[in-house]
Chain A
Amino acid sequence: MIPSPATTLEVAIEHKVGPNLSLSVEFQLGREIGVLFGQSGAGKSTLLRLIAGLTRPDSGRIVLDGEVLYDSRARHDAPLWRRGIGMIYQDDLLFPHLSVRENIAFGLAGWSRPGAADRVREVAGLCGVERLLDRRPAMLSGGERQRVGLARAVAPGPRLLLCDEPFSALDLGRRSVLITRLIDLHRSQGIPILHVTHSPSEAVALGGTMLMLDQGRITAVGPPIELLAGQRRPSIPWTPLANVFHAVLEGPLADEGGSLLVLEGGLKLVVPGLDKPAGSAVLVQVRADDILLARGAIPGLSARNQLAGIVERVLSHDHEVEVVVRAGGLAFLVSLVAAAARQLEITAGADVVLIIKARSCRVLEEDESTPAPT
């Protein structure tokens, strides 16, 4: 196994999960997003619990930031409260008797009162729950509960964030938003993340390093999009969560009904008319199979967006091809049928134009009960 340049987490454990499953894993993780991917029953969640310390491994060693958390030979097992690990769960596990504010502040026991209050406001803003602070968990939607759980886990500034299939109960739109939140948090707070999922689309959307877990063993390590390319089955689409971008609303278009967005990297995108003030921050998503590729700009086209880009990589499956196109600093995932890709000679390095109808651009809402963050 290739060690990451700045290793944060080192895991080498053996653990008998049940009569038919034994975990035997060894891996290292840097400060990137690690995606622990596998089918249900592969031992993903157990592995996460072992790293967190919620279950004691049969034998092995776990080191985080140079500190030994567990070492069966030295009979060392750091207590949970001292591990500095944040965790979010499938059943959010919010404290039902505490308000959202108190939930987020729960891990800030040693902080000064004003310091904790500032920190709660800060992470609430990062997770988009600043308007929910006085509510009880019972009054929140599923997406909101997961965002509060994320804020609670991140507030104390953990050395590692473990995510145990936290978004699997949410619909695609909300999952997209939460994944974007998670990636933003990773960037802004610099917290290494280990995220468990069995959803290929979630893995692709999160990017980073994927660890494939099968029958208790890690079978492959690499970028999700590449590892998944080899094993796609027609029944498992893995692109629905891709192509989510931060954007700012510039304003309505003068002539027609559309609105103009400026994407993170500066690209402009025409989308259906939005009922929001100019300057609003939004998330916009374009489905991978709603994007057309051309080898040059096409005049007189009904589609409103033509964005120039360069093909970064091409991943082939039986009849379909997934193409990553870099345009304006952003990576767009495009799916094509294999024949079209051959005909257009789409290969890495090729200049292409992404053609996107305004109607294919979906502006994501965070949740029904709260509008997208502004």
Chain B
Amino acid sequence: MGDLGPFWLSIKVASVATLLDVALGAPLALLLARGRFPGRSLLAGALTLPLVMPPTVLGYVLLILLGRRSLVGGGLEQVFGVSLVFHWSGGALAAGVAAFPLFLIPARSAFEDVDPMLEDAARLLGRRELSVFLRVTLPLARRGLLAGVVLVFARALGDFGATLMVAGDIPGRTQTASLAIYDAVQVGDNARAGGLSLLISVVSIVALMVAQRGDRSPRTAA
């Protein structure tokens, strides 16, 4: 099978994309589930947009936003001296954006399913907001959040179009497993394409199994 670099890069990109989506998606999901403010459904719709847009279009929009001459991209380069374009981190961002709704949707409904009366009961028992969230809301929403994590990770692991647009396909630097599989098929290297496909599939299936196992045990840390 040869070089495993693309496989490890895919794992790295998918992990970072998942972290990004959870860090950003959990508060937004909570806001959409619990908040009552004008423009709520508009916000929900906008955040779900990546689900219906072609990944290449998403990637293209990101490319324009992050390019060196754009406000965002130029600012990032001036302040931090980094450019996300044609860098694996840009790929992670692109994969994260494309997969974002797959975390947001189950996370939102998981928070919505937590009975607000239970949270009130916790408050009356002397708990403050952070404690109510950590001890009641989060453990009760755990199933849905976990499902979202697995979906995002699996989706980011397999991302092709968005990553390609932003990070390119630079062997050894931004070439993820999906891109490497495509390239291998193009040059007729079926052994490499098959090997990488198998590896990626195994990781996805294991992630799913881990999530289901976490689902079964009803206990959470007290």
Q: Can you list 11 A-B contacts with CB-CB less than 8 angstroms, sorted by A residue number?
A: A54-B120, A54-B124, A80-B123, A81-B128, A87-B121, A87-B124, A89-B117, A93-B118, A93-B121, A97-B219, A102-B222
Inter-chain contact B125/A152, CB cutoff 8 Å: yes
Cα–Cα, bound, A82→B127 (Å): 9
Contact partner, B124, options A52, A102, A109, A110, Cβ 8 Å:
A52
1/0 per residue, CB under 8 A from A, across B109-137: the answer is 00000010110111111111001000110
Q: Which of B140-181 contact A (CB under 8 A)?
A: 140
Inter-chain contact B218/A156, CB cutoff 8 Å: no
Contact partner, A95, options B118, B128, B131, B219, Cβ 8 Å:
B118
By size class, the interface of chain B is: 20 to 34
Inter-chain contact B140/A97, CB cutoff 8 Å: yes
Inter-chain contact B218/A107, CB cutoff 8 Å: no
B residues in contact with A53, CB < 8 Å: 124
* Most chain B CB within a 10 A radius of its CB, from A80, A83, A86: A80
Inter-chain contact A89/B126, CB cutoff 8 Å: no
CB distance from B81 to the nearest CB of A (A): 46
Closest to A138 in B: B218
A96 at the interface (CB under 8 A from B): yes
* Most chain B CB within a 10 A radius of its CB, from A53, A95, A107, A109: A95
A106 at the interface (CB under 8 A from B): yes
Chain A interface residues toward B at CB < 8 A:
52-54, 79-87, 89, 91, 93, 95-99, 102, 106-107, 109-110, 136, 152-153, 156
CB distance from B27 to the nearest CB of A (A): 22
Inter-chain contact B120/A80, CB cutoff 8 Å: yes
CB distance from B142 to the nearest CB of A (A): 8
A residues in contact with B124, CB < 8 Å: 52-54, 80-81, 83, 85-87
CB distance from A304 to the nearest CB of B (A): 47
Instruction: Label chain B's interface by main secondary structure.
Output: helix
CB distance from B99 to the nearest CB of A (A): 28
B5 at the interface (CB under 8 A from A): no
Q: A54-B120, A81-B124, A81-B128 are in contact. List 6 more A-B contacts (CB 8 A).
A: A80-B123, A86-B124, A89-B117, A93-B121, A95-B121, A96-B140
CB distance from B122 to the nearest CB of A (A): 7
Inter-chain contact B120/A109, CB cutoff 8 Å: no
Instruction: Label chain A's interface by main secondary structure.
Output: loop
A residues in contact with B186, CB < 8 Å: none
Chain B interface residues toward A at CB < 8 A:
115, 117-118, 120-128, 131, 135-136, 139-140, 218-220, 222
Cα–Cα, bound, A82→B126 (Å): 6
B residues in contact with A54, CB < 8 Å: 120, 124
* Most chain B CB within a 10 A radius of its CB, from A81, A91, A99, A156: A81
CB distance from B139 to the nearest CB of A (A): 5
B residues in contact with A81, CB < 8 Å: 123-128
Cα–Cα, bound, A87→B124 (Å): 8
Q: A89-B117, A98-B222 are in contact. Are A107 and B140 (CB under 8 A)?
A: no
Inter-chain contact B122/A97, CB cutoff 8 Å: no
* Most chain B CB within a 10 A radius of its CB, from A52, A83, A91, A98: A98
B residues in contact with A106, CB < 8 Å: 122, 125, 127, 135
A residues in contact with B122, CB < 8 Å: 95, 106
Closest to A55 in B: B120
Inter-chain contact B218/A97, CB cutoff 8 Å: yes
Inter-chain contact A93/B117, CB cutoff 8 Å: yes
B residues in contact with A93, CB < 8 Å: 115, 117-118, 121
CB distance from B114 to the nearest CB of A (A): 10
Name the 10 nearest CB pairs between A and B, nearest first: A107-B125, A80-B123, A93-B121, A97-B139, A102-B222, A81-B126, A106-B125, A80-B124, A81-B123, A81-B128
* Most chain B CB within a 10 A radius of its CB, from A91, A97, A99, A102: A97
Closest to A99 in B: B222
CB distance from B129 to the nearest CB of A (A): 9
Cα–Cα, bound, A354→B183 (Å): 98
Closest to A101 in B: B222
